A and B are shown apart, each in its own frame.
Chain A
């Protein structure tokens, strides 16, 4: 029965990635290579972030919210953005349209994030006899993270790959990208500074991811109109 629960949480955590890949035209254009490359770039980014965090961050005894440490963590979080930039622009992709490129990169990024952060706790914890809601909430968080990663990739591709953008939309694009990039800091502030519990934080993440996805979809289609 407990392997059953592990299986359930696993399909909640990793299922949407597979569904996204097969449902959208990504599977038709065989963009798997792009996703894999994006996942590897994420791995490299994670290692660089690990090194920076270990070097510059001090471990605090209490679980409170230290603004200086959080700002430092946010700055290090921008390495994520740099990694995404690298994946979007520097990697050589096969001839796929920009539309699909950002989706593939976002998908690979989110999948690597889920595997690295959520597979280990799931394997170790969800198979035991003891039942907690944590793993289901973690799966929901993975879903929200998928949406956020794809939104960030979309905004990133708008910023770096699209040359002709309507002037009025540029600050909005940068603002949204900034919000999405600093999402980890916002959630950690909510958890530690305001003392929200895990279900509330996950709910907030889901809501903001949907909002951000909608906004970036609108921005993307707005930017696409002139060229079309």
Chain B
């Protein structure tokens, strides 16, 4: 029995070995070069975009240069070298000086700590993470507004690249810059040139929750709009998950929608207000999407909106929130909204302040989402933890905005604040101390819901030009909103205007350990001399020394013969 098993196994073994020999032959013939790099890691490219014709970001994607660390000897030419800079050792003035003076460089590779990795690294406690966050924020600001004629990539620290970097540092310390003749490590990314993203689409998702129309009432019910923008913009589009800006806003909007859908499901408790939930795109680009969304409204609908509450970054505050308005605080509507919020905030032990920023119609810059409403004469306010209006492309969910720095409790409190204020306005309970969304009741804010959506958003990069029309994430948001509202609509628009984007956002980097040309030349010399010595040795031992000498003397003797 054993023998037959062996024989059966042997036949299979023979067949397998035959097949492996044949496949190896095919591989030889096809001359496939196996990738036997020292390391292959995922890297994410710096964003490349044009704004009003000016070029920004990293203008190249391919890399094929030697690597060097920050300890390179002073005065070396780095135009064909890639600098590998870990974030922990980053000297921002050095990088700024390099970029501002437009010094030639082969490429940049930034190594980020694992805590900024959207895929994992969620719960690791790292000391000095606030410092790292600030350094990264500053680096991001520098890189986004610079024009870099070389490839810039981000990668996450792991064991392989740590070993490689330690080796590179050791080589640099000996004072030898890595070039073709001295060996070292070579970084290769063989991607083609990045192309423009043609017609980037932005998709606005709106959900409509109808109020209770009394019989015989012909008038249009008033509407309250709750809006949040869901897309991000950051230094690395493949990593811009924007947990706080504006993941917190989206989660709050979904939770508010869920609570009100519960409240409105029963006709007895349905309010006399329609609720319009809007998840808009194009936020970082002067709220382009919101503008297009509002323009698409019917005039009657626009006039029926009592006011709009926009949610922007409410995920990492302690006890102070701001309501930003563009109409003067003395305005009756603004007063009403603010008082409603303040009363609820007092009960929840939150401090709410009012900030007024006038709109300049001639200035295309739109710093807050409510300004788009105000430009179309709809009262609007933005609830945010950010005290001052952000600049263009600031606070739009960059690399540093990761899940670690967002607090679910803050979002839950924010949801409670907004929901209670709205509900008192809708049912006319202003001033009364009634807690409709009290903890422990059936209408309590669900922290698990908040947390699970926040976790999902913190893993999904959402830069609008790279989200297709039927992106699964957009479909997921649509489905979720459809669960909580009566009617959901999608609006697809083209992101036009001053921004143009380029593709190629993430790829794989191969790191090869290479020997220098001089090494191979020396090897050739050694081998040549070895073969010559071997030849002479064999001739001497087998044919005798005379034969060796006669090898060199043959031509003259022939001449003698002919003469």
Q: Do A and B come from one complex?
A: yes
Residues of A within 8 A of B (CB): 1, 4-5, 8, 11-12, 15-16, 19-20, 22-25, 50-51, 54-56, 120, 123-125, 127-131, 136
Which residues from chain A contact B32 at a C-beta distance below 8 Å? 124
Task: Give Cα A221–Cα B535 distance, bound, in whole angstroms.
Answer: 22
Which residues from chain A contact B33 at a C-beta distance below 8 Å? 124, 127-128
Which residues from chain A contact B27 at a C-beta distance below 8 Å? 124
Instruction: Check B543–A24 contact: CB distance below 8 A.
Output: yes
Instruction: Check B513–A130 contact: CB distance below 8 A.
Output: yes
Per-residue 0/1 for B14-44: is the Cβ within 8 Å of any A Cβ (1 yes, 0 no)? 1011000000100110001111111000000
Once A54-B13, A136-B523 are accepted as A-B contacts, the answer to whether A130 and B38 lie under 8 Å apart by CB is: yes
Once A19-B531, A19-B535, A24-B543 are accepted as A-B contacts, the answer to whether A129 and B523 lie under 8 Å apart by CB is: no
Task: Give Cα A136–Cα B527 distance, bound, in whole angstroms.
Answer: 11
Known: A128-B34, A130-B38; 5 extra A-B contacts, CB below 8 A, are: A22-B535, A50-B14, A55-B13, A120-B24, A124-B32
Q: Which of B17, B34, B514, B542 contacts A131 (CB 8 A)?
A: B514
Instruction: Check A123–B28 contact: CB distance below 8 A.
Output: yes
Minimum CB–CB distance for A45 against chain B, Å: 16
Instruction: Check A23–B542 contact: CB distance below 8 A.
Output: yes
Instruction: Check B514–A16 contact: CB distance below 8 A.
Output: no
Instruction: Check A11–B527 contact: CB distance below 8 A.
Output: yes
Instruction: Check A124–B28 contact: CB distance below 8 A.
Output: yes
Minimum CB–CB distance for B552 against chain A, Å: 14
Which residues from chain A contact B10 at a C-beta distance below 8 Å? 51, 54-56
Which residues from chain B contact A15 at a C-beta distance below 8 Å? 527, 531
Minimum CB–CB distance for B29 against chain A, Å: 11
Chain A's closest residue to B542 (CB) is A24
Q: State whether the Cβ of B490 lies closer than 8 Å to any Cβ in chain A.
A: no
Task: Give Cα A15–Cα B524 distance, bound, in whole angstroms.
Answer: 12
Task: Give Cα A19–Cα B188 distance, bound, in whole angstroms.
Answer: 39
Which residues from chain A contact B38 at a C-beta distance below 8 Å? 130
Chain B's closest residue to A52 (CB) is B10
Task: Give Cα A59–Cα B450 distance, bound, in whole angstroms.
Answer: 54
Which residues from chain B contact A8 at a C-beta distance below 8 Å? 520, 523-524, 527
Which residues from chain B contact A56 at a C-beta distance below 8 Å? 6, 10
Which residues from chain B contact A50 at a C-beta distance below 8 Å? 14, 17
Chain A's closest residue to B180 (CB) is A1
Instruction: Check B520–A25 contact: CB distance below 8 A.
Output: no
Per-residue 0/1 for B171-210: is the Cβ within 8 Å of any A Cβ (1 yes, 0 no)? 0000000001001001010000000000000000000000
Task: Give Cα A20–Cα B538 distance, bound, in whole angstroms.
Answer: 7
Task: Give Cα A226–Cα B9 distance, bound, in whole angstroms.
Answer: 53
Chain B's closest residue to A18 (CB) is B531
Q: Which of B13, B512, B520, B539 contacts A130 (CB 8 A)?
A: B512
Minimum CB–CB distance for A52 against chain B, Å: 9
Task: Give Cα A130–Cα B40 distance, bound, in whole angstroms.
Answer: 12
Minimum CB–CB distance for A73 against chain B, Å: 15
Instruction: Check B515–A5 contact: CB distance below 8 A.
Output: yes
Instruction: Check A5–B34 contact: CB distance below 8 A.
Output: no
Per-residue 0/1 for B529-551: is the Cβ within 8 Å of any A Cβ (1 yes, 0 no)? 00100111111001100000000
Once A51-B14, A54-B10, A129-B188 are accepted as A-B contacts, the answer to whether A1 and B520 lie under 8 Å apart by CB is: yes
Q: State whether the Cβ of B7 lies closer than 8 Å to any Cβ in chain A.
A: yes
